[in-house]
Amino acid sequence: MPFERILVAIDGSEASDRAFDKALELTALTGATLAALAVEGPLPAYAATVGEVEEVKREKDAFFSRLLTAAEEKAAASGVALETELRPGHAAELIVRVAGEWRADLIVLGHKGHFLRDHLLGSTADRVTEHADCPVMIVR
């Protein structure tokens, strides 16, 4: 089999939806095992109140919980078993780390294409491609 363990990163964006669809297709074709990783991005930096942090955290938890449930339902409708994982932290760093921990042999992720930020800081896709130990599929 070309791929046995596929990790797809999802964040609720259109690009990540397209990546998830491709990952489902690929999993169905190869009979691989599929895991979806959702990364809760950073909380407000240098917060002045615990309340501000807690409220943002609560909103993120609710959003990502809905996102993973929807992913599970979509995978089930396609006849694919899906493992899900939600982690807080830096997206590129966590995608690479979880891929290593989970022994993924392919990472699938979307590319949003934010012109200014990508040129100044580099995109998540760039960083994952640079640091991952396995093939990376970028879905545009």
Partner 1 sequence: MSELAIAVVLAGAILLASTISIELGISVALVELALGVVVGNAFDVGVPAWLVFIGSFAGIVLTFLAGAEVDVDQFRREWRASLGIGVVSFAAPFLVCTAFAYWALDWSADAAKIAGIALSTTSLAVVYSVLVETGLNQTAIGRRIMSATFVTDFGTAAALSILFVTPSLWIIAFAAVSASLILGLPRLSPWFFGRYGNRVIEPEIKLVFFALFLLMWLGERSNSHAVLPAFVLGLALSSHYATHRKEQERMRVVAFAFLTPLFFFKGGMNVSAAALWANLGVLGLLFAAKMVPKLAGVYPLARRYCAPHAAFTTLLMSTGLTFGTISSLFGLQAGIVDETQFSLLVAVVVLSAIVPTVIAQRLFQPTAAAEHARERALAVAEPVREAER
Footprint of partner 1 on this chain (CB under 8 A)?
A: 41-55, 57, 87-89, 97, 101
The Cα–Cα gap between 134 and 49 comes to: 41
For partner 1, the closer of residues 78 and 100 by Cβ is 100
Q: Report in angstroms how near the CB of residue 52 gets to partner 1 at its nearest.
A: 6
For partner 1, the closer of residues 44 and 113 by Cβ is 44
End-to-end distance of the chain based on CA atoms, in angstroms? 25
Q: Report in angstroms how near the CB of residue 41 gets to partner 1 at its nearest.
A: 7
Under 8 Å between Cβ of 85 and 94: no
For partner 1, the closer of residues 22 and 127 by Cβ is 127
Q: Report in angstroms how near the CB of residue 45 gets to partner 1 at its nearest.
A: 5
Q: Report in angstroms how near the CB of residue 29 gets to partner 1 at its nearest.
A: 32
For partner 1, the closer of residues 24 and 104 by Cβ is 104
Per this entry, what is the length of the chain? 140
Cβ neighbours of 109 (radius 10 Å): 29
Rounded CA Rg of the chain: 15
Q: Report in angstroms how near the CB of residue 89 gets to partner 1 at its nearest.
A: 6
For partner 1, the closer of residues 4 and 54 by Cβ is 54
The Cα–Cα gap between 13 and 53 comes to: 23
**Running DSSP on this structure, what letter comes out for residue 94?**
H
Under 8 Å between Cβ of 53 and 44: yes
